[in-house]
Structures are given as structure tokens and as C-alpha cells.
């Protein structure tokens, strides 16, 4: 018994004669027990092959849970919006709006399905986003997550305001930032120390891999990332992104901010290889989804 009672009990009580299972439960605490109990009750159980269309659809629907159970990490989906020439913002920072309303609404639907939404302090300081779900109906708001190495979050930032909780991961010195931590706590913000290795001459940064592990321990299955090119680049360089959700607008904007700071590269082979899984028109824009090879079933 977890948040809900075992479904096998309901199936046995209902007198079901045959059960077709699309996907076995990867949770090591319960995996296989439900099927065994059904068979012990005289119910015929068929587990579909992994390549069956229904098995593939089931893995797709439960991809975040699979990731958390098999890797101890949430499924990380990075959302970006850009022009056809890859510009996410002009050189002066202007970025609203590159894509049209239909694409923005669709983006909120992807926010809704995630357990948490992550951004960086640079985006908060520049854009002051709410980072909540507004353009589609939702019964609850995803957890909001902020990477803020120096704990620079303004106390009046909109990301602090309800609805939804806020976790701030920082590498700042607890003693030096004690007053700021207390003020954030008074506003319902949870500050988590998560420092990574420090290079000589640079300030401490958040350990992004440890951040993901902590979110998984909190039950986050899917993490939706909406950040700037620097944090995007860090997550991609460290191999922490599973899927890209990219909205392309049919316009050319010339020089400006790019999708992610991953270079400069000296050889094409140094690039991050991806596989397209979807290309769908959304209003006047195009939604592309691409994944790192081998990440479909939540395993590296």
C-alpha cells in the first residue's frame, strides 16, 4: 500500500478472468508481486512483449516513473523556444514573444505533466517569471525549483508567490547568507545546500547531478526545465538532459542568444547527438522533440 491500494486486489475482487499487462512495475519494492497474486487467484495474466505498441505507449506515459525507479533520477525534459535560426532572445535580451499563443499554451500543458519545473537565477533576475501553470487547467501546481548558487533570489520575486512551493538549491555559505535564508523561510521557501566542486578562482556552483538525485528522492518523476542558455548548457554538457522540447517559430532573428552554451567546439563529432521522436505543427509554430540515444525507456 502506497498512495493508492494495490490494483490487483480490486481485480481479484471484481472476478476478472484475464489481465493483459502492458508494463511490469519497475519498483523493486513491489515489482512482480501483483502479477503473482493475480495468477495465484486463478486469473490468466499475459505480459506484453517490450516491443508491442501498447507496451511502448505505456513506457512513454510512465517514462518519468521508469527513470526514477531504474536510475534514481527524474526524466529531464528541457523546453526551449527559438526562431528558425536558433535565436532564443535578441542581443538586448528581448524574447517575448518569439512563438505564438498556441505554442505557449502547449508549453504549459507540458509544464502541467511534470512534477517540478526548474530554472536558474539568471532567468529570474532578467524575466521575473512565475513559472507556474496558467494557460491550461490544472488541479495542482508543479513544484518550482531554482538553481541559485549565490542565493541572489530577490525577496519580492514572483516565483516565490503562491500557488506552488519553491525549492532553492544553493552553494552559498550558510553563515554568510543566514539572514537571507531566514527571510526566504518566512516566505515559505525551502533552501537546500547542494555545493559542487569548486575550481580555483571561481565561486562554488550547485551540483546539478546531486540536485536531480535529491528531486528523485522527493518523488519527482518528470523535471521540466525552462532556463537560460548558460544553465541549459551546463545540464547538457553534464549529460543530465533526456529530452529536448523545442518550439520553432517561422521567423529569422539574426544574432542573439542561442539555445545552450555548450561550445565552442573544434570538431563536429564533439556535438551532442540526438534522435528526433516527434515533429508536430502547433498553431503557426513547429514543436520538435528529440532525445539522447538510449533514453526512451528511462535507462542510459
Domain ranges in the chain are: 7-58, 71-291
Q: What is the mean pLDDT of residues 18-35?
A: 83
Say yes or no to pLDDT of 60 above 80: yes
Percent of the chain with pLDDT over 70: 96
- pLDDT for residue 296: 57
Residue 298 has pLDDT above 50, yes or no: no
Q: Rounded to whole angstroms, how far apart are CA atoms 40 and 47?
A: 16
Report the pLDDT value the prediction gives residue 6, as an integer from 0 to 100: 80
Is residue 116 within a helix (H) or strand (E), and if so which, with residue range?
Answer: strand 116-120
Per-residue pLDDT at 89: 87
Place of cell 502547433: 282
Between the CA of residue 60 and those of 3, 70, 215, 296, what are the distances in Å?
Answer: 22, 15, 21, 8
Say if residue 169's pLDDT is above 60. Answer: yes
Which CATH superfamily includes the segment(s) 71-291? Dihydrofolate Reductase, subunit A (3.40.430.10)
* Grid cell at residue 109: 500543458
Q: What is the pLDDT of residue 168?
A: 98
pLDDT higher than 80, residue 81: yes
pLDDT score, position 213: 98
Q: What phi and psi values does residue 254 have, to the nearest 5 degrees?
A: 75, -160
CA distances from 207 to 147, 192, 216 (A): 10, 11, 15
Confidence of residue 299 (pLDDT cuts 50, 70, 90): very low
The pTM (predicted TM-score) of the whole model is 0.90
Half-sphere exposure of residue 289: CA atoms within 13 angstroms, side-chain side: 13
Amino acid at each position: 500500500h502506497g498512495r493508492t491500494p494495490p490494483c490487483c486486489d480490486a481485480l481479484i475482487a471484481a472476478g476478472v478472468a484475464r489481465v493483459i499487462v502492458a508494463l511490469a512495475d519497475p519498483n523493486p519494492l513491489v515489482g512482480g508481486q501483483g502479477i503473482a497474486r493475480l495468477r495465484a487467484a486463478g486469473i490468466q495474466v499475459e505480459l506484453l512483449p517490450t516491443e508491442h505498441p501498447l507496451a511502448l505507449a505505456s513506457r512513454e506515459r510512465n517514462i518519468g516513473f521508469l527513470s526514477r525507479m531504474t536510475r534514481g533520477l527524474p526524466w529531464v525534459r528541457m523546453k526551449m523556444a527559438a526562431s528558425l535560426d536558433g535565436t532564443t532572445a535578441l542581443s538586448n535580451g528581448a524574447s517575448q514573444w518569439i512563438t505564438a499563443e498556441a505554442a505557449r499554451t502547449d508549453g504549459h500543458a507540458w509544464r502541467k505533466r511534470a512534477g517540478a519545473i526548474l530554472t536558474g537565477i539568471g532567468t529570474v533576475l532578467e524575466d521575473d517569471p512565475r513559472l507556474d501553470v496558467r494557460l491550461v487547467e490544472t488541479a495542482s501546481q508543479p513544484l518550482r525549483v531554482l538553481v541559485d548558487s549565490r542565493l541572489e533570489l530577490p525577496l519580492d520575486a514572483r516565483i516565490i508567490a503562491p500557488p506552488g512551493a519553491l525549492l532553492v538549491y544553493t552553494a552559498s555559505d550558510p553563515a554568510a547568507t543566514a539572514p537571507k535564508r531566514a527571510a526566504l523561510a518566512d516566505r515559505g521557501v525551502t533552501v537546500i545546500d547542494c555545493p559542487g566542486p569548486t575550481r580555483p578562482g571561481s565561486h562554488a556552483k550547485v551540483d546539478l547531478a546531486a540536485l536531480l538525485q535529491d528531486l528523485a528522492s522527493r518523488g519527482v518523476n518528470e523535471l521540466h526545465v525552462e532556463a537560460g542558455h548558460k544553465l541549459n548548457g551546463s545540464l547538457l554538457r553534464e549529460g543530465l538532459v533526456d529530452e529536448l522540447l523545442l518550439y520553432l517559430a517561422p521567423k529569422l532573428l539574426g544574432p542573439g542568444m542561442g539555445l545552450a552554451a555548450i561550445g565552442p567546439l573544434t570538431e563536429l563529432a564533439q556535438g551532442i547527438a540526438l534522435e528526433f521522436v516527434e515533429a508536430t505543427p502547433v498553431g503557426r509554430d513547429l514543436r520538435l522533440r528529440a532525445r539522447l540515444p538510449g533514453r526512451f525507456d528511462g535507462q542510459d
